[in-house]
Amino acid sequence: MEYDITKNKYSPKEKKDIWDTAFGLQKVDNLEPSDYMRHQAQQHIQNKIEYADIEKNIKSYYKNSQEQSTKEADIVSLRVAELLSRNGFKFSPATLLGIHKYLFTDILPANIPIGKFRNYNITKKEDVLNWDTVLYDDFGMLNDTLEYDFKKESMVDYDVLNRREKAFSAMNFISDIWQIHPFGEGNTRTIAVFAIKYFRILGFEIDNSLFKEHSKYFRDALVLANYHKIGKTLEYLDKFTENLLLDGKNTLNITINNSGNTHIRRQR
């Protein structure tokens, strides 16, 4: 018996949601796609061109253009949209590696491993922490830590959980692997794509507008959920989870006091 080739057919609205998510995720690194790329996306939404056409067009655009500041946002957005348009998914650390390689090949600087776990330790000053940093995992323990978290998550019996329990359990896993920060750059975008595909496998319908409008909030909420000095501040990630997966209507903003700590601190 021969295998059937799967070809997903999306409505214009579904295509727009995918592109909005892809563009929105670039904001976690303060990147904005070019007007040219937005036009290409609109052509795709209207079924006038395919992803392969956009790839060819965007390569030609940057070959002949002096404007390079939007190149990363444009190409990574295209690759995010392509990945989110596919159904294939395996729950494995190898999938994280594959997503990172697909998104960032020929994009990130040569000194940053692509499709490989970082081989050095990192910090990052966060405005939401008054320029302090989250403690990320030591590079020598990345494989062991990821294998542990994936194994622990694979043992969760989602069949016995209600929808709300399932949503918070899955997001807690995503938060844990984000804190590991396995890559030198591109962690949040890689893990967001992984998360979206994982949530789909678990049966959730995702509100894509959250990543279009609040991707920076999502990253800041992950930062606060993993900050070592004040304990886990989960209020903000909980609100995002409710809106993303449970039809919540929470107002999404993060209030910081003068000391740089959030006003709300709650542990689970």
The pLDDT of 213-219, averaged and rounded, is 95
Domain ranges of the chain: 8-87, 89-268
* pLDDT tens column, 7-26: 567 899 999 999 999 999 99
pLDDT of 7:
58
pLDDT of 5:
45
pLDDT of 2:
60
The pLDDT of 122-140, averaged and rounded, is 94
**In the predicted model, is pLDDT for residue 267 greater than 80?**
no
Instruction: pLDDT band for 64, please (50, 70, 90 cuts).
Output: confident
Report the CATH superfamily, name and number, of domain 89-268: Fido-like domain (1.10.3290.10)
**In the predicted model, is pLDDT for residue 137 greater than 80?**
yes
Q: Distances from the Cα of 233 to the Cαs of 226, 257, 268, in angstroms?
A: 8, 14, 9
3-state secondary structure 16-50: HHHHHHHHHHHHHHCCCCCHHHHHHHHHHHCCCCC
The pLDDT of 222-250, averaged and rounded, is 92
Cβ(231)–Cβ(40) below 8 Å: no
**In the predicted model, is pLDDT for residue 118 greater than 80?**
yes
Query: How far apart (Å, rounded) are the C-alpha atoms in residues 57 and 144?
Result: 42
* pLDDT tens column, 22-57: 999 999 999 999 999 999 999 999 999 999 999 999
Lowest mean pLDDT among 2-6, 83-87, 115-119, 220-224: 2-6
The residue with tokens 């601190």 is 265
* pLDDT tens column, 202-215: 999 998 889 999 99
Phi, psi of 256 (to 5 degrees): -115, 135
Name the residue with higher pLDDT: 8 or 185: 185
Name the residue with higher pLDDT: 57 or 256: 57
* Percent of the chain whose pLDDT exceeds 90: 82
Return the number of other C-beta atoms located less than 10 Å from residue 268's C-beta. Answer: 9
* pLDDT tens column, 83-97: 999 989 999 999 999
